[in-house]
Structure 1
Amino acid sequence: MNYLAIVGTNSEVSTNRMLLQFMQEHFKAAAQLELYEIKDLPAFYEAEDDQVPQEVEALSAKILQADGVIIATPEYDHAIPAVLKSALEWISYTSQALTDKPVLIVGASHGALGSSRAQAHLRQILDSPELAARIMPSSEFLLGKSQAAFNASGTLIYEDKLAELDEIFREFVLFTEIITKLLSEKAVIKKDKKFAWQTQKA
């Protein structure tokens, strides 16, 4: 599996980035994770079709090429960061590259709740008609007290959370396989479908 792992913040120092970096190394035998930084994307504005920023086109291409997407979000004022909302607005307004794309949401925060409200907010956004991502159900990974969660080498040291992350990632790989198979079969059915007027004899 090839996953695009989006760092959902423009902060230079982030435990959400550390979480994705750990996942990239920890799960390298099962999947390839490419980290993507949204901090260099311009703020969203209504661009003409031929004036979409190159950075946005590059992000869309990466999403389309990936088997699935992992988004790590912090929580700012009970919601996702504005920079992440802006990135999703670009995708919604232009390529709609997240449509039917398997998505796993994870999040880390300095507090005890581990970005739970931001993750709920993100699920609502990804479920909107213009994004329509395939979000893995019942799969919250909430890393609270994240400032103490990693050692000097970037390893997640909370054993209970590591076991939880292992299980969620295993399920996400399976979820990706199921969604990929579902969409391929759906495409075949759609291709072979005939309307009544096409099958009637004159």
Structure 2
Amino acid sequence: MNMKFISIVGTNSSYESTNRKLLQFIQKHFTEGVTIEVCEIKDLPAFNEPEDRTPPQAVKALSDKIVAADGVIISTPEYDHAITAALKSALEWLSYTTRPLIDKPVMIVGASHGALGSSRAQAHLRQILDSPELKARIMPSSEFLLGRSLSAFDEEGNLIDPDKVQELEECFEEFQLFVEITNQLTKDHRFKADKKQQFTWEQRADGGDIA
């Protein structure tokens, strides 16, 4: 079975982002049995909490791609020990409107200019994706951290370090298995996802309003 993944560049930078490069490398390196589309968030408007909970067309298009995909890969940079404001805004749009990430398998990767990779940002992203209005199925116990990313790629956009390539291959193989198991686990329990999609912090369980 051919798996369909989308990957999300976790920055709105038009500059040559190494997180974009990482996802582009993943897209061209992993082709056997999978198709991977690289999606941008740089053209999404800033989240503004619409009263009717209707997403802008660009957000709806991203949401539809998430729904149609078997799994999602998010590559996040690290700004001040956290994810970017643009990625947070994109996730706020999704959580407030269509909620396509509920029960969706997600793999988190990240690149940063420093030596430590994006470890704190990845932890921050995990916390956000686990919130009740997103509730993604995040691949556990696996991080792909690409440090010193400015010198990590050659002129063709390939990862230079063979050890990092092998590490990425192992993570991706694990993610494919995680997707299979997760989708098998959730496919007969869509009513639970429907119930989660009706969740809102604006009402208590007894129907009363939250102040």
TM-score (norm 1): 0.91
Provide Cα deviations, 1:33-86, integer angstroms capped at 9, x if missing partner: 101000000000111327421111111111100101000000000000000000
For the residues of structure 2 that align with 1:169 and 1:175, how far apart are their CA atoms?
10
Map of 1:1-202 to 2, 5 A cutoff? 1-12=3-14, 13-49=16-52, 51-187=54-190
Q: Which runs of 4+ in 1 moved over 3 A?
A: 185-189
For the residues of structure 1 that align with 2:55 and 2:120, how far apart are their CA atoms?
31
1:163 maps to amino acid: Q
3-state SS of paired residue (1:32): strand
For the residues of structure 1 that align with 2:27 and 2:149, how far apart are their CA atoms?
17
Query: Structure 2 vs 1, CA of residues 141 and 48 (structure 1 numbering), >3 Å: closer, same or farther?
Result: same
1:162 to partner: Cα distance: 0.6
Q: Which runs of 5+ in 1 are unaligned?
A: 190-202
**Is the Cα contact below 8 Å between 2:5 and 2:70 reproduced in 1?**
yes
Q: Which runs of 5+ in 2 are unaligned?
A: 193-211
Identity %: 67
Provide Cα deviations, 1:129-187, integer angstroms capped at 9, x if missing partner: 00000000011100001111110011101111111000000000010000111012435
1:5 maps to amino acid: S
For the residues of structure 2 that align with 1:50 and 1:144, how far apart are their CA atoms?
38
- Which is helix-richer, 1 or 2? 1
1:31 to partner: Cα distance: 1.1
For the residues of structure 1 that align with 2:39 and 2:47, how far apart are their CA atoms?
18
TM-score (norm 2): 0.87
For the residues of structure 2 that align with 1:178 and 1:143, how far apart are their CA atoms?
27
> Which structure's CA Rg is the greater one?
1
3-state SS of paired residue (1:49): coil
For the residues of structure 2 that align with 1:143 and 1:4, how far apart are their CA atoms?
20
For the residues of structure 1 that align with 2:5 and 2:125, how far apart are their CA atoms?
18
Q: What CA RMSD, in Å, does the superposition of the two structures yield over aligned residues?
A: 1.6
